[in-house]
C-alpha cells in the first residue's frame, strides 16, 4: 500500500505511512465519519482502487471484503441521496 500511496502523494514518506496506520487503528472515528471527510471524486476513486488492491492482496475475493462493500455503499448512498 505504501508504494501505491507514493504514486498519488509525492512527498509521502514511510514514516508518514506508519503514523497513518497507527492513527487509523488508535482513533475512534467510524468508517462513515471518515468517508464523510472525502469530498473529491478523484480521491474517492483512488481510495476505492487502493481498497480493492488491499482486498485482493490477502486472498479475499473483493466481494467478500466487508469494509470495501461498506465504503462503496456509503459513497453510493451519498451520491444517490
How high is the pLDDT of residue 68? 86
As a whole number of angstroms, the distance between CA 10 and CA 64 comes to 32
- Residue-number span of the structural domain to which 76 is assigned: 2-80
How high is the pLDDT of residue 53? 84
Q: Whole-model pTM above 0.85?
A: no
Q: Which residues of 48-68 are buried (b: 16+ CB within 10 A; e: fewer)?
A: eeebeebbeeeeeeeeebeeb
Q: In the chain, which residues have pLDDT < 70?
A: 58, 60-64, 78-81
The number of domains in the chain is 1
Read off the C-alpha cell for 14.
Answer: 514511510
Amino acid at each position: 500500500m505504501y508504494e501505491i500511496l507514493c504514486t498519488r502523494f509525492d512527498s509521502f514518506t514511510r514514516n508518514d505511512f506508519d503514523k497513518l496506520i497507527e492513527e487509523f487503528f488508535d482513533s475512534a472515528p467510524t468508517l462513515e465519519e471518515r468517508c464523510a471527510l472525502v469530498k473529491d471524486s478523484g480521491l474517492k476513486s483512488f481510495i476505492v482502487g487502493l481498497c480493492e488492491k488491499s482486498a485482493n492482496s490477502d486472498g479475499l475475493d473483493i466481494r467478500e471484503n466487508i469494509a470495501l462493500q461498506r465504503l462503496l455503499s456509503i459513497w453510493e448512498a451519498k451520491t444517490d441521496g
